[in-house]
Amino acid sequence: MKSTLLILFSGSLLAVTACNKHDDSATSAGADTNLAIDNGAMDNGMAMNTVAEAAPLAPLTAQGFINAAAASDKFEIETSKLAATNGASGSVKSFADKMITAHTMSSEKLKKTVAAMGPPVTPDDRLTAQQQSTLDSLKGMKGADFDKAYAAAQVDGHQKTLDTLKGYSSSGDNATLKSFADGLIPTVTAHLNMAKSLR
C-alpha cells in the first residue's frame, strides 16, 4: 500500500528533464520491489488517506522514480493535447503547448539517461489510477469548465511532483538520479507557478 501511495504522490513528475544530468550510475534491475504501479489498489481513496495519516512515506526506488517520471511525461502530454480542442482560454492553450514541447523532450532525455545505466532500465509509463481518472474526466469537458479543471490538475500534479523530487533528492537510492531530481526542482517550481497563474 505504501508503494502505491508513492505513485499517487508522484502525480505529474518531471516538468522539464531537459535540465537533467547524464546518468552513468548503475542501478539494480530489481530495484522496483517497493514501488509497483498498482492501479487497482489506488481506487480506494479512503484507505489511501488512512495510510497517509498513519505512516510516513517510504522513499522511491530508482526504478520507481523512473516509472513515475515516464508516467508524468505521458500524463502531461495527453492532458495538454486536449487543450487544443477542449480549452477556451488562450493562456491555457499556450501553457499546454509548452507542456507538450517540454514533456516530449524530457521523455526522450529520460529514455537516453536510463539506457546508459548499467544494466539499462526500461521506464514504465503506465498512468496511475489518479492520472487516468483525471485524463478521462478532462476528455468530457469543454470551454471554461475544461480550462478550470485543467488548471487545477496542473497545480495539483506539479505540487505532487515537487514533493516527489524533493523526497527523492534527499533520500533516493541512486546518486545520479538524486542529483537529477535536485536539478529539476527549480524547473518544476517555475511550472507550478505558471500553472497557478492559470486559475
Burial 45-62 (b: 16+ CB within 10 A, else e): eeebeebeeeeebebbbb
Locate cell 495538454: which residue? Answer: 80
CATH at residue 16: 1.20.1260.10
Q: Tens of pLDDT along 139-169?
A: 999 999 999 999 999 998 888 888 888 988 8
User: Is 127 within 8 Å of 178 (Cβ atoms)?
Assistant: no
In the prediction, which pLDDT does 79 show? 95
Which tops the pLDDT comparison, 189 or 60?
A: 189
User: Is 77 within 8 Å of 19 (Cβ atoms)?
Assistant: no
Number of separate helices (H) and strands (E) present in the chain: 8, 0
Task: Kindly tell me if the per-residue pLDDT of 34 is higher than 80.
Answer: no
Q: Confidence band (pLDDT; 50, 70, 90) for 129?
A: very high
**How far is the C-alpha of 13 from the C-alpha of 17, rounded, in Å?**
10
Q: Tens of pLDDT along 102-125?
A: 888 888 878 877 887 777 788 999
Q: pTM higher than 0.75, yes or no?
A: no
Task: Give me the domain span that covers residue 99.
Answer: 2-197
Q: How many domains are contained in the chain?
A: 1
